[in-house]
Amino acid sequence: MKLIILDRDGVINLDSDNYIKSASEWHPIPGSMEAIARLNQSGYRVVVATNQAGISRGLFDTRTLNLIHNKLHQTALAFGAHIDAIFFCPHAADEDCGCRKPKPGMLQAIGQRYDISLKNIIFVGDSLRDLQAGFSVGCTPYLVKTGKGTKTIDKGGLPPGTILFQDLAAVVDALLQREQLATDTVESARQAIQKKNK
């Protein structure tokens, strides 16, 4: 199974320091929906893992979050894209839950849902806690410069092996180019063997 995990705010949609509190405040980052569609077309299941402490803080409720995610799903569909699942943590940092990134609980739940090891699965985020959560379960951490990404780079302390990208579209460009190169290499080797055996 080909799986990729994305943070939501700052990766898929424009972020806000005041939280995304309603569907009307949710707006995709230019190019992100097309990027997800390209992942789907290449056989990837796209899963979202997002901290949503605004619920615990009383800024919005789960019904509103569902409306926001319905807009995400409908917008994706309009671009021929599909989000396979959205996992979220509703807790604030001081609640010390196991699912709030940078803790691994939410990602572990994704691994259990899909019955897959998360080793080398790509996790795309814009904050240090995203990368730390992914790294802790064996994911390859990809940091985008959208959202809080540039500030995250400036602060430093990134997990070993973190790869930097301009945005989600650039992530997908690099990922699909790498896959095409691998396919071309295998095909070239196959043709060489066939030629030698003739």
Mean per-residue pLDDT over the chain, rounded: 94
Pairwise CA distance, residues 102 & 127, whole Å: 10
Give helix 32-41 / helix 168-197 axis angle, nearest 10°.
Answer: 30
Boundaries of domain holding 112:
2-197
User: Angle at CA 131, nearest 5°, toward 11 and 103?
Assistant: 110
What is this structure's pTM? Answer: 0.92
> Which residues are catalytically annotated?
7, 9
Given a cut of 90, whether residue 181 has pLDDT beyond it is: no
Q: How confident is the model at residue 190 (pLDDT cuts 50, 70, 90)?
A: low
Looking at residue 172, its pLDDT comes to: 98
Compute the distance between CA of residue 121 and CA of residue 138 in angstroms, rounded to an integer. 7
pLDDT tens for each residue of 123-144:
999 999 999 999 999 999 999 9
Q: What is the DSSP string of 97-160?
A: -SSSTTSSHHHHHHHHHHT---TT-EEEESSHHHHHHHHHTTPEEEEESTTTHHHHHHH--PPT
- State the pLDDT confidence band at 189, using cuts at 50, 70 and 90: low
Structure tokens at 38: 């390209």
Q: Average pLDDT in the 80-94 region?
A: 96
Model pLDDT, residue 184: 63
Query: For residue 164, what is the DSSP state?
Result: E
Examine the pLDDT at 185 and tell me if it is beyond 90: no
Summarised one tens digit per residue, pLDDT across range 10-63 is: 999 999 999 999 999 999 999 999 999 999 999 999 999 999 999 999 999 999
Task: With beta carbons less than 8 A apart as the criterion, state whether 7 and 142 touch.
Answer: no
The contacts of residue 128 (CB under 8 Å, 6+ apart) are: 102, 152, 155, 157, 158
* H or E stretch at 180: helix 168-197
Residue 138's φ and ψ, nearest 5 degrees, are: 95, 5
Residue 60's Cα: distance from chain center in Å? 23
pLDDT band of 197, cuts 50, 70, 90: confident
Q: What is the pLDDT of residue 186?
A: 61
| Whole-number pLDDT of residue 182 | 74
Q: What is the pLDDT of residue 145?
A: 98
pLDDT digits (tens, 9 = 90+) for 140-177: 999 999 999 999 999 999 999 999 999 999 999 999 99
What is the domain-level CATH number for residue 165?
3.40.50.1000
Quick one: which of 109, 141, 146 has its CA closest to 128?
141
Number of domains in the chain: 1
